[in-house]
Structure 1
Amino acid sequence: MERVVDIETDGLFLAVHRGFLTVSSAGEEKGRIPLDDIGALIVHAHGTSWSNSVMVRLSERAVPIVICGSNHAPVACIWPLHGHHAQGARMRAQIGVSKPLTKQIWRQIVAAKIRMQGHVLSGNGGQAGAFDLLARKVRSGDPDNIEAQAARRYWKALFGPGFSRDRSAEGANALLNYGYTVLRAVVSRAICAAGLHPTIGVFHANRTNAFALSDDLMEPYRPLVDQLVLDLVAAGEQGVSAEAKHRLAAMTAVDLDNGDGTISPLGVQVQRFVHSVAESFVTGRRNLVLPLRPAVRSGLLPSDP
């Protein structure tokens, strides 16, 4: 299973030695990880330094390197130039995809996200029937902004009536920032491996957002992060501690139901989903492999009604 490596201790030096990423402090090696086991590298710490080989070797493996600010949200990402063997053809298809197809893709993404929100609420004893109804109301391109309607109900129902999603706030909001950063890195890795470009989204189109497609395709998985954060808050976590980071970075191992009697870890399911998006761009036909609810054995939800 690919690992999300988080550098949180100040003043560390990163290098590559014989196929390993090495982590050192004051000239003493503190640990090493096989390069082939790394799915993403996230750097939070001040004073981190690295050799050029770290960038080269990870980029050769299509591993994104994400650099975060003090609020645990990403501020920069090193993006590999080479990905899938058909990268050129897929990027041309991505650029030339028709508007009706992108609207249909976005409809399915939004509906999948709302259904996943309903699963999370139901697993925590909440009422999820309205979310299934909202998901069925989503039209091509979501012109009625059903996604926002669902969000207004969802946050209060999950975290309590006093909660407000604020990216600059501490506590649960900071934990959500970090969890979404991990998820964004996982999705970005899959996008690179599929031969697509993260800047060209199907819905997000902000000129300053270099990861519009990543932000589009991570939407159905966001509620899984929300559940992990809810569990951390319930366990007494007030900030982005080392233990909280460890728990959130392990989200790639959460099992998801594929809908065909099989299950896949989130990291694998993301790859399948992104590949299906790439194929839809190339063929001009929508055929997405969207995530379903967490599998019973995943242990993610408190209960599985």
Structure 2
Amino acid sequence: MALDKNHRVKLLRGFGVSITTKDNQIILKNGKHFYEKEHEIESYFPKKFPYDRLVISGKGMLSTEAIKTLSENNVNVILTDSFGSLVSSINFPMVSGIGSRNRMAQYDIFRDDTKTTYLQRQLLHSKFQSQINFLSSLDNDCKKIISHLKSLQKIIPNLTLRRLVSLEAQASREYFKLYASFFDEKYQFDTRNSISKTKQDASDVINALLNYGYSVLASEISKHLNGIGLDPYYSFYHHNHESFQSLTYDMIEPFRWLVEKTVYRLANAKNHALQIKKKHYIKHTKSGMVLLDTELVKKFLEMLEVDFRKTRQYERKNGMKKENGLSNCAEITIVKISIQNLSDFCVGKKQEFKI
């Protein structure tokens, strides 16, 4: 069964996945997995292609002509491994004088210690604020950690990068300890770091869902960075040699809560049709990692898309504004605006960087 195209996301999974072109149409062929009995095939003319994102978690064939056509139509192609961790993403880069200007300004700003320190502090403050806002929206008792995060925000302006990273790690441990308490014990989720030091090693269903969500979010951020001409591999917070597309993982920090919210909603759903069931995942015998079935991944991606498109009031330059000067913006649009704000700061259009 195909996903509801209103969700604008398509999962291709299993063995025999393919994206090809024929008679001027893009042909999507789903793969076979433990849970699939036959291939599902869809075909669309490029201008009527219904998806913004293709998530590929399988083995198969991608034709260069299909990838070229998808990129030209701004479709984000996201490749993950069988466990939902990001392998690669394919998106269209900005090739223009503006893109080159933005990238050169990025290199200059990120070599400026004063401005880089400012960006680091702004980023961490925004990440803590996003967690505060998320926790405040829940019915759970989160007052203690919210108060703690607010107190950490106050000391950020006085810290160097080394202390900022240490502070972030400390806050993350406390945040995920609380976050784990929101889930039924049957999911065996007690931390973001499961069976090893590698966060992608998901030995429980909650970590596996987080992997999928972070992969999709990271790919969206990478698409917008490339689209505006910034170099996703050159960052101001994460070490360039330690992280895949380090600027992508700088900019993901204030928006991780979107994935965490979706996982929370799915795992605590009252609707029986949405609930996670034991049949939806199995533990890989050799690695001890959890493998999700296609039905659960599709359901999660649909819900994530809904949370991406939920709106809230936000300050932006363009668009219709309310009496208070704010506009209703989708969360995923706010991600894009924040990346534009970073670019504007780099080229000197803005003196402040806000998320």
Q: TM-score range by the shorter chain?
A: 0.7 to 0.9
Superposition map of 1:112-261 within 5 A: 112-124=126-138, 125=140, 126-127=142-143, 128-139=146-157, 141-144=160-163, 145-160=166-181, 163-166=190-193, 167-169=200-202, 170-207=204-241, 209-235=243-269, 236-237=275-276, 239=281, 240=292, 241=296, 242-259=298-315, 260-261=325-326
Structure 1 residues 150 and 45: alpha-carbon distance in aligned structure 2, compared to 1, 3 A threshold: same
The answer (yes or no) to whether the contact 1:23–1:30 under 8 Å persists in 2 is yes
- How many angstroms does 1:182 deviate by? 1.0
Residue 168 of structure 1 aligns to a residue in which SS? coil
Superposition map of 1:278-293 within 5 A: 278-283=343-348, 286-290=351-355
The answer (yes or no) to whether the contact 1:4–1:250 under 8 Å persists in 2 is no
Give, as a single letter, the amino acid of the residue that structure 2 aligns with 1:253.
R
Give, as a single letter, the amino acid of the residue that structure 2 aligns with 1:77.
S
- How many angstroms does 1:226 deviate by? 0.7
Q: Deviations over 1:241-262 (max 9, x none)?
A: 1212322244321223315432
Structure 1 residues 263 and 83: alpha-carbon distance in aligned structure 2, compared to 1, 3 A threshold: farther
CA distance in 2 between partners of 1:84 and 1:275 (Å): 16
Task: Name the structure 1 match of 2:19.
Answer: 14
- How many residues are aligned here? 289
The structure that has the greater radius of gyration is 2
CA distance in 1 between partners of 2:239 and 2:53 (Å): 24
Give, as a single letter, the amino acid of the residue that structure 2 aligns with 1:237.
I
More off after superposition, 64-73 vs 169-178: 64-73
The answer (yes or no) to whether the contact 2:94–2:228 under 8 Å persists in 1 is no
Residue 200 of structure 1 aligns to a residue in which SS? coil
Alignment TM-score, normalising by the size of structure 1: 0.83
The answer (yes or no) to whether the contact 2:7–2:306 under 8 Å persists in 1 is no
The answer (yes or no) to whether the contact 1:105–1:202 under 8 Å persists in 2 is yes
Residue 229 of structure 1 aligns to a residue in which SS? helix
More off after superposition, 259-268 vs 210-219: 259-268
The answer (yes or no) to whether the contact 1:205–1:212 under 8 Å persists in 2 is yes
More off after superposition, 143-152 vs 184-193: 143-152
Give, as a single letter, the amino acid of the residue that structure 2 aligns with 1:74.
L
Structure 1 residues 191 and 63: alpha-carbon distance in aligned structure 2, compared to 1, 3 A threshold: farther
Q: Which runs of 5+ in 1 are unaligned?
A: 291-305
* Of 52, 70, 85, the match for 2:82: 70
Alignment TM-score, normalising by the size of structure 2: 0.72
Task: Name the structure 2 match of 1:299.
Answer: none
Give, as a single letter, the amino acid of the residue that structure 2 aligns with 1:268.
T
- Structure number with greater CO (CA < 8 Å, separation at least 6) is 1
Q: What is the Cα-based RMSD across aligned positions, in Å?
A: 2.8
CA distance in 1 between partners of 2:309 and 2:171 (Å): 27
Residue 44 of structure 1 aligns to a residue in which SS? strand
Residue 58 of structure 2 aligns to a residue in which SS? coil
Identity over aligned pairs, percent? 21
The yes-or-no answer on 1:103 pairing with 2:117 is yes
CA distance in 2 between partners of 1:222 and 1:160 (Å): 18
The answer (yes or no) to whether the contact 1:256–1:265 under 8 Å persists in 2 is yes
Give, as a single letter, the amino acid of the residue that structure 1 aligns with 2:13.
E
The answer (yes or no) to whether the contact 1:62–1:82 under 8 Å persists in 2 is no
Q: Deviations over 1:94-143 (max 9, x none)?
A: 11211221221121111111111112222223212222222222135544
CA distance in 1 between partners of 2:261 and 2:307 (Å): 11
